[in-house]
Amino acid sequence: MKAFVYQRADSATQAAAAAVKPGAKIIAGGTNLLDLMKLQVETPSALVDINRLPLDKIEETRDGGLRVGALVRNSDLAADSRVRQRYGVLSRALLAGASAQLRNKATTGGNLLQRTRCYYFYDVTKPCNKRNPGSGCAALAGFNRIHAILGTSDQCIATHPSDMAVAMRALDAKVETVNAEGEARIIPIAEFHRLPGKTPEIETTLKSGEIITAVTLPPPPPGVQVYRKVRDRASYEFALVSVAVVIATDGKTITSSRVSFGGVAHKPWRSIDAETVLKGRPANLSTYRAAADAAMSKAAGKGHNDFKIELAKRTLCRTLADAAHTSNGRQS
């Protein structure tokens, strides 16, 4: 690990002012950042510890939603009774991620900002446009079984590893930030994460020094919420494919839906195409298949990850079928 100066922030604005300096990084839970620092993938010259800031509350909003402080731990958010009652898809997604020890540390803001688990990003001896812009992408012609099938570029095929963000994308969460001047901003989660394009090193629309203070959840959309994660082992593993679904029916016909995928793109992948197909159609397997085909119509693999296209389709069909027969985010 490279040497750094350790600082503790007393306010979010002060933290933003410290973080705007070149080489400075904010640390909250640290479960991803410290791992990357040990490998010298990240080499900050200053660490700004924000753990003492009062950003650890979950509050009701006036419109019937919830405002989740940036430092609320993943375990606390998943276990919150309001989240379990009203946002089951978020609770389930959080519980699907990492281990209990990591969830006790990892924060809401940090989870959104975690880096890809692409092996070539982690291996400093390999080219990686995300870690070392312009050096190339070793995953394109390398082992790319875990890599993206949607929204990729010729510079990067990494995926965003979060489960939480996939549920938040389905719920249309908003990210609240503050900068060094104390100016607040609200970023819809749809606009928060970026696709790799020509600049895969830029992963979000946060500006330099801008820090996350909270994530707000609008009132829950109508319908049943389900999160399903498919991975190489039953627990404590990143998704090959995951799906967050919210679906409402009048008994026979689908009246509204939200469909969001994890493990398939550089950001949590909302599929408006699938939602368009589902609306007004009968809740049956042929509808689900049509929605899955629409969701993956632009998907393309790079060899080892070709299977993800069919896997994502089948996972969506199964999840939609589950949602039609279960309640409260229960996963069968």
Please count the residues of this chain forming the interface with other proteins, following the rule CB under 8 A.
43
CB of 236 to other proteins, least distance (A): 4
Residue type, 54: P
Q: What residues from 52 to 91 belong to the interface with other proteins (CB under 8 A)?
A: 75, 78-79, 81, 84-85, 88, 91
CB 90 → other proteins: shortest distance, Å? Answer: 10
Binding other proteins (rule: CB under 8 A), the pick from 12, 96, 167, 323 is 96
Q: Is 40 in the site for other proteins (CB under 8 A)?
A: yes
Q: Looking at 43-51, 131-139, 141-149, 196-204, which segment touches other proteins (CB under 8 A)?
A: 43-51
Return the amino acid letter for 217.
L
In sequence order, the 6+-apart residues with CB closer than 8 A to the CB of 14 are none
**Which of 195, 204, 196, 173 lies closest to 61, judged by CA?**
173
Taking the least distance from each CB to other proteins, the nearer of 166 and 277 is 166
Please, are residues 317 and 161 in contact by the beta-carbon 8 Å criterion? no
**Minimum CB separation from other proteins for residue 170, in Å?**
16
Under the binding rule (CB under 8 A), the answer on residue 99 touching other proteins is yes
Per the CB < 8 A criterion, the answer to whether 173 and 189 are in contact is yes
DSSP of 131-196, one letter per residue? TSTTS-BSSTTS--TTS-SSS--SS-------SHHHHHHHTT-EEEEE-TT--EEEEEGGGTB---
Question: Which residue in this structure is represented by tokens 């368009």?
Answer: 276
Sort residue 297 into left (φ over 0), alpha (ψ -120 to 50) or beta: alpha
Return the residues of window 9-38 that contact other proteins according to CB under 8 A.
27, 30-31, 34-35, 37-38
Rounded Cα distance, 128 and 130, in Å: 5
CB of 306 to other proteins, least distance (A): 28
Residue 245 makes contact with other proteins by CB under 8 A: no
Work out whether 236 is an interface residue with other proteins (CB under 8 A).
yes
Least separation in angstroms between residue 30's CB and other proteins is: 6
How many Å separate Cα 210 from the centre of its chain?
Answer: 19
Q: Which stretch binds other proteins (CB under 8 A): 181-189, 231-239, 258-266, 317-325?
A: 231-239
CA 204 to chain centre: 11
Q: Does 177 bind other proteins (CB under 8 A)?
A: no
Task: Identify the CA nearest to 297 among candidates 328, 262, 272.
Answer: 272
Q: How far apart are CA 264 and CA 152, in angstroms?
A: 9
Helix, strand, or coil here: 17? Answer: helix
Q: Which is nearer to other proteins, 35 or 293 (CB)?
A: 35
Would you count residue 173 as binding other proteins (CB under 8 A)?
Answer: no
Q: Does 117 bind other proteins (CB under 8 A)?
A: no
Alpha-carbon distance of 169 to 227, in angstroms, equals 12
Binding of other proteins by 47 (CB under 8 A): yes
Interacting residues with other proteins between 186 and 215 (CB under 8 A):
none
* 267: contact with other proteins by CB under 8 A: no
Toward other proteins, which CB reaches closer, 62 or 81?
81
Q: Per CB under 8 A, which region of 100-108, 127-135, 151-159, 254-262 contacts other proteins?
A: 100-108
Cβ of residue 309: shortest distance to other proteins, in angstroms?
25
In the chain, count H helices and then E strands.
12, 12
Q: Per CB under 8 A, does 102 bind other proteins?
A: yes
At 288 the three-state DSSP class reads: helix
Rounded distance between C-alpha atoms, residue 332 and residue 311, angstroms: 18
Question: Which of residues 51 and 132 has its CB atom nearest to other proteins in the complex?
Answer: 51
The residues that touch other proteins, with contacts defined as CB under 8 A, are: 1-6, 27, 30-31, 34-35, 37-40, 47, 49, 51, 75, 78-79, 81, 84-85, 88, 91-92, 95-96, 98-102, 104-105, 234-236, 328-331
